[in-house]
Amino acid sequence: MKRSWAVLAVAVHYVLSACLGPVQAEPGSPATEAARAQMNLRAESAAVPQLVRLVDDRNLQSLDLDRSGLETLRDINKLITPAGYQIKYRFREIGVPVAQALSLSRDRQLQNRLLETARFQSGRRSRSESLLVLSAQKDPAHLKYFKEALLDRDVAIQFAAVESLEFWNLPDALPLLLNASERDWSPLIRVFAAQAVLRMGDSRGRDQLLKYIKDPNWLLRAMSARYVGELGNPDDADLLVSRIAAEQDNPYVVAELCIAGLKLLSRRAPVVAPPPPAPRSPASKPKAQVARPFMMEPLVLAAPRIKVSGTQLVPPQIDTELINLLERLADEPPAELVIDDNVAQLVQLVTPQGFALYVRYTDLNALLTEGLAGTTNQTLIQRLEKIARTGRNTSARSTAFVALGHDSTRVDLSLFEYALRDASIQVRFGAVEGLTAQSNPMVRGILAGAAQTDVSPVVRLFAAQALGRRGDAQGVDLVRRYITDPDWAVRALATYYLGQLGDDADFERILINLDRETNNYVISEDCLAVLRMSL
C-alpha cells in the first residue's frame, strides 16, 4: 500500500510539473553587503580552525570506498560517468573538498599555515594543496616555493607546481614552464608544462605539443592531442584527424584525436548560442565558484560535437571510431587496469586536476562520453540506444545514456524511464545524468520520481539536486532533508549540493552542523559550503 501511495504521489507531481512548471521558492530579501560581510566573518571563524587541522598529510589520506563498510560508499565507487567520478573522488580523496574550501578562505592565519606547508619538507598532499592555494594570491614572493617544487623528484609535487605556475600567471613563470616542457624527466610533466606555456599565450607551447603528438610515449601523444584540440588553431583539425588511422593500437590516443578534431572543427563554424539557463528563484544568489585549479575540469562534460554547426560536418571517420570503441566495451566484461609507467605516475597525482587526468587515461568511458555526447546522427543514436538497452557492460550502458541525454532534439524519454528501474546503480545514475542535460519539460517529473523512490540515496540526491538546478524548490527541499542523515556519506553529499543551491537559512543550518560534526569528510564539506554561501 505504501508503495502505491508513493507511485501515486510521483504521478501527481509529474502531471503538475508538466502543466504548471516547477515549484518556485518564495522570493526572499537578499542579504545586505554588511550582513554578507558578517556571514563571511562567522564562516571564516568556524571553518578556518578546522581547515588548519585538515591541511595535514595525516588527515588527507585516501579512503578505500569498497572497504569502508558503508553501502553508500560502495555505491559511489561504482559510478563511472563524469558527474559520478566527481562524486567518487570527493569521497576517495578528502583533499578535493579541503582544497576547494581553502581556495575560498581569506583568513590570514590560514594563509600563513599554507606558506609553512608549501615548503620543501612538507608531505605530498598538504604541500600540493598549499601550492595551489598560494598561486591564487598572485604574490611574486611565492616564486621560490613554486621553483623548489618544480625541482622535486616527486611527480605529484612537480605536477602541482606546474598547475600553480600556470594559474599564478606572472612573467617569471614562463621560463620555468618552458624548461620543464623541454627537459623534465617525466613525460607527463613535459606535456602538462607545454600546455601551460600555450595557455599563457606563448606559441612555443603549441610547437612542443605538435612535436609530442608523434612521440613513442602513448600518454604524451594522447595528452598532446587533447591540449591541441583545446588550445590550437582550427586548421590543426586536419592534422589530428589524419593521424587516427596510425593509432589503432591505442584506444585512448584514438579517442583523444577524435575529440580534439571535434573541438577544432567547432571553431571553424559559427558560434552556437548556448541554451538559456534553467529558471532560478528570484531570491537566489549565485554561489561563489572555486577557481579552475581546484575543480576537476576534465570531468565537466563539454560535448564538443554540439558546437559543430553550419556547413561544417562531423567527419564520418570520427563517428565510426568512437562508436566502434564503445560497442567493443559494451560487449566485453570490464577490463583490468594495466599499470604501465605512465599510469603509475598518474596514480600518484593528488590534486583535483591530477585525479581527473587519472580518470581520463584509465577509463575509456570518460573519453567516449565526451566524444559521443549530443550526437544527432540517427545511425549513431540507434547504435547508442542498442548499447543502452542490451550492452553486457553496465559502464558502457551508462556512458550511452549520458551521451543520448545531451541530444537537445530528443523527445522520447521512455528509454530513460525504463533505465530507472534497472538493477544497476551505474545504469540508473547514468540515466539521471543524461536527463540533467535535457531541456524537455517532462524531465522534471521523471527526476522527481527518482529523487523520491530510488533505492540508493546517491541517486536520490543526484536527482534532487538536478531538480533544484532547474529552479524547482522541491528538489532543494529534498536535498535539505539529508544534511542530518545518520549516514555520514549522505550528509557530506547533501551538504556539498546544498552549499551550491541553498539560501541564507541553509547557511545557518550548515554552520550549526559544522559545530557538531565529528566526521572529517562532512566537516570539509561543511567548511566549503559555509564559505561558498557567505561570499
**Is there a contact between 483 and 509 (Cβ–Cβ < 8 Å)?**
yes
C-alpha cell at 194: 607545454
CATH number of the domain at 306, please: 1.25.10.10
Q: Is residue 272's pLDDT more than 60?
A: no
Q: What number is the average pLDDT over the span 19-45?
A: 69
Q: C-alpha cell of 67?
A: 572497504
User: pLDDT band at residue 216, thresholds of 50, 70 and 90?
Assistant: very high
- The tens digit of pLDDT for each residue in 377-397 reads 999 999 999 999 999 999 999
Answer yes or no: is pLDDT of 74 > 70: yes
pLDDT at 96: 85
CA 292/CA 64 separation, integer angstroms: 26
Which of the four pLDDT bands, split at 50, 70 and 90, describes residue 273?
Answer: low
The Cα angle at residue 17 between residues 14 and 20, in degrees rounded to 5: 140
Which pLDDT value is given to residue 228?
Answer: 97
Higher pLDDT, 31 or 477: 477
Cβ atoms within 10 Å of 506's Cβ, excluding its own:
20
334: left (phi over 0), alpha (psi -120 to 50) or beta: beta
Backbone torsions φ then ψ of 62, nearest 5 degrees: -70, 150
Mean pLDDT of 141-161: 94
The pLDDT of residue 31 is above 80 = no
Residue with cell 583568513: 107
- Cell 510539473 locates to 17
Check: CB of residue 60 under 8 Å from CB of residue 156: no
Report the alpha-carbon distance of residue 250 to residue 313 in Å, rounded.
25
Would you say residue 285 has pLDDT above 90?
A: no
Exposed / middle / buried, residue 453 (Cβ in 10 Å: 0-12, 13-18, 19+): middle
Query: 23 with 473: CB under 8 angstroms?
Result: yes
* Residue 183 located in a structural domain: yes
User: What per-residue confidence (pLDDT) applies to 190?
Assistant: 97
- 473: pLDDT confidence band, cut at 50, 70 and 90? very high
Label residue 288 by pLDDT band (50, 70, 90). Answer: low
Using CA atoms, how far apart are residues 535 and 530, in angstroms rounded to an integer? 9
Residue 49 covered by a domain: no
Q: Give the other-Cβ count within 10 Å of 428's Cβ.
A: 25
Residue 8 lies in a domain: no
> Count of domains in the chain?
1
pLDDT digits 0-9 by tens, 297-317: 545 677 888 887 655 688 899
Residues paired with 93 in a beta bridge = 62
Q: Flag whether 350 is in a domain.
A: yes
Provide mean pLDDT across the span 277-285: 50
The share of the chain scoring above pLDDT 70, in percent, equals: 87
Q: What share of the chain is helix, strand, coil (3-state, %, to 5)?
A: 65, 0, 30
> Is 111 part of a structural domain of the chain?
no
The domain of 235 spans 123-272+286-363
C-alpha cell at 147: 621553483
Which of 125-129, 232-236, 467-471 shows the lowest per-residue confidence on average (mean pLDDT)? 125-129
CB atoms within 10 A of CB 310: 10
Q: Are 218 and 252 in contact (CB under 8 A)?
A: yes
Per-residue pLDDT tens over the stretch 417-444: 999 999 999 999 999 999 999 989 999 9
Provide the pLDDT for residue 276. 53
Q: Distance between CA atoms of 382 and 393, rounded to whole angstroms?
A: 18
At residue 370 the predicted structure's pLDDT band, cuts being 50, 70 and 90, is very high
Average pLDDT value over all residues in the chain: 87
Which residues have CB under 8 Å from 317's CB, separation 6+?
241, 244
Per the model's pLDDT, the better-predicted residue between 113 and 162 turns out to be 162
326 in any annotated domain = yes
Of 4-13, 167-176, 346-355, the poorest mean pLDDT is in 4-13
Band of pLDDT at residue 274, cut at 50, 70 and 90: low
The CA-atom distances, in angstroms, between 473 and each of 168, 207, 434, 483, 503 are: 39, 50, 21, 16, 11
Is 292 among the domain residues?
A: yes
Q: Which residues pair with 81 in a beta bridge?
A: none
Q: Does some domain include residue 337?
A: yes
Model confidence at 24, pLDDT cuts 50, 70, 90, reads very low
Indicate the pLDDT class of residue 292, thresholds 50, 70 and 90: low
Distance of CA 152 to the CA centre of its chain: 28
What does the pLDDT look like over 447-467, one tens digit per residue?
Answer: 999 999 999 999 999 999 999
pLDDT at 299: 54
DSSP state of 433: H
User: Please, is 49 exposed, middle or buried when counting C-beta atoms within 10 Å of its C-beta (0-12, 13-18, 19+)?
Assistant: middle
